[in-house]
Copies of this chain bind each other. A is one copy, B any other.
Amino acid sequence: MFFKCENFQRVGAFKFRGALNTVSLLSDEEKSRGVVTHSSGNHAQALSLAASMLGVKATIVMPKNSPTVKVNATRGYGSEIVFCENNPESRVETCTKLIDEYGYTLVHPYNDERIIAGAGTAALELLTDYGPLDVVMAPVGGGGLLSGTSVATKGISSLTKVIGGEPENADDAFRSFRDGVIYPSIRPNTIADGLRTNLGDITFSVIRANVDRIVTVSEEEILSAMKILWERMKLVVEPSGAVSLAAAIKIKNELKGLRVGIIISGGNVDLEKFFAEFEVAQ
Q: Are B12 and A227 neighbours in the complex by a CB distance under 8 Å?
A: no
A100 at the interface (CB under 8 A from B): no
Chain B residues with CB below 8 A from A274, complex form = 274
In the bound assembly, the distance between CA atoms of A199 and B231 in angstroms comes to 29
CB within 8 Å of B: which of A223-243?
223, 226-227, 230-231, 233-237
Chain B residues with CB below 8 A from A278, complex form = 191, 223, 226
- Least Cβ distance of A208 to chain B in Å? 31
Q: Are A191 and B235 neighbours in the complex by a CB distance under 8 Å?
A: no
A254 at the interface (CB under 8 A from B): no
Q: So how many copies of this chain end up in the complex?
A: 2
In the bound assembly, the distance between CA atoms of A274 and B267 in angstroms comes to 16
Q: Are A234 and B7 neighbours in the complex by a CB distance under 8 Å?
A: yes
CB within 8 Å of B: which of A5-25?
5, 7-8, 12
A12 contacts which of B190, B234, B271 (Cβ < 8 Å)?
A: B234
A277 at the interface (CB under 8 A from B): yes
Chain B residues with CB below 8 A from A279, complex form = 223
A273 at the interface (CB under 8 A from B): yes
A219 at the interface (CB under 8 A from B): yes
In the bound assembly, the distance between CA atoms of A223 and B276 in angstroms comes to 10
A275 contacts which of B12, B223, B282 (Cβ < 8 Å)?
A: B223
1/0 contact trace for A252-273 toward B, CB 8 Å? Answer: 0000000000000001000101
Chain B residues with CB below 8 A from A190, complex form = 282
- Least Cβ distance of A225 to chain B in Å? 12
* Residue from A231, A237, A279 with most neighbouring chain B CB atoms (10 Å): A231
Chain B residues with CB below 8 A from A273, complex form = 277
- Least Cβ distance of A281 to chain B in Å? 8
By Cβ-Cβ distance, the 5 closest A-B pairs, closest first, are A234-B267, A234-B236, A7-B234, A191-B282, A274-B274
For this complex, 15 residue pairs linking A to B, each with C-beta atoms less than 8 Å apart, are A5-B234, A7-B234, A8-B233, A8-B234, A191-B282, A219-B282, A223-B275, A226-B275, A230-B271, A231-B271, A234-B235, A235-B235, A236-B236, A273-B277, A274-B274
Chain A interface (Cβ < 8 Å from any Cβ of B): 5, 7-8, 12, 190-191, 219, 223, 226-227, 230-231, 233-237, 267, 271, 273-275, 277-279, 281-282
Q: A223-B278, A227-B275 are in contact. List 16 more A-B contacts (CB 8 A).
A: A5-B234, A191-B278, A191-B282, A219-B282, A223-B279, A223-B282, A226-B275, A226-B278, A230-B275, A231-B236, A234-B235, A235-B235, A235-B236, A236-B236, A273-B277, A274-B274
